[in-house]
Chains A and B, each alone.
Chain A
């Protein structure tokens, strides 16, 4: 899996959000807001380029105090959501 081109993380109204900058448009009513961990995973996904649930869960465990099984489940749920939103492919 990889991040779709043109979507970047930025802070809008004090919230970390993903916006499609390539479109040159941003809808404040449809912002995809992320908590700190999700934002970290988004950046990590960008660094990895080609990533998977396993590679991101592994990175998460190396950087945060979190159980492997929980990390895997959280990353899996997050990627499922991002896929539905069309920001990863």
Chain B
């Protein structure tokens, strides 16, 4: 477990350095905290510099100076940024604007197909998804047993 954590830290740290140099870094993501928009273990995200962050953006941020999360922006002020995973039913992260290290507007699926997150349609879906927060638990439960199961079997 320890090795995995160290490796992740190193990989993300290097990815962020490259992003700071102006590169677009494609990185496979883990976890299910961004369902149903990003499939951890299957999708890669393209990370770029976090310019003009606004509500609805998906960003990579460092929380409490240690763990990294790739979550959606819920609130932005000059002092703080509030984040939450689309696939989470509770729990938000709060960080300073400078802790937002990269943004992702584009996903690359396993089949190599690109999907944008910043189209009006995707933004609208994300807003709808946000309003469904009270019932997310049940939607996600059904989703994980159906769609995701098929994906994992493939």
Task: List residues of A whose CB falls within 8 A of some B CB.
Answer: 12-14, 21, 24-30
Task: List residues of B whose CB falls within 8 A of some A CB.
Answer: 7, 10-11, 14-15, 18, 22-28, 44, 46
Given contacts A13-B10, A14-B10, contact A28 B24 (CB under 8 A): no
Residues of B within 8 A of A28 (CB): 11, 15, 25-28, 44
**When the two chains form the complex, which single residue of A13, A14, A26 contacts B23, counting CB atoms closer than 8 Å?**
A26
B23-A27 in contact (CB<8A): no
| Chain A residue nearest to B18 in the complex (CB) | A26
B10-A27 in contact (CB<8A): no
In the assembled complex, how far is the CB of residue B42 from the closest CB belonging to chain A, in whole angstroms? 12
A24-B11 in contact (CB<8A): no
Give Cα distance in the complex from A14 to B8, angstroms: 12
Give Cα distance in the complex from A73 to B28, angstroms: 35
A29-B28 in contact (CB<8A): yes
B23-A21 in contact (CB<8A): yes
Residues of B within 8 A of A13 (CB): 7, 10-11, 14
User: What are 28 A-B pairs at a CB distance below 8 A?
Assistant: A12-B14, A13-B7, A13-B10, A13-B11, A14-B10, A21-B23, A24-B22, A24-B24, A25-B24, A25-B25, A25-B26, A26-B18, A26-B23, A26-B24, A26-B25, A26-B26, A27-B25, A27-B26, A27-B44, A28-B11, A28-B15, A28-B25, A28-B26, A28-B27, A28-B44, A29-B26, A29-B27, A30-B26
Residues of A within 8 A of B28 (CB): 28-29
5 nearest A-B residue pairs (beta carbon): A27-B26, A25-B24, A28-B27, A13-B11, A12-B14
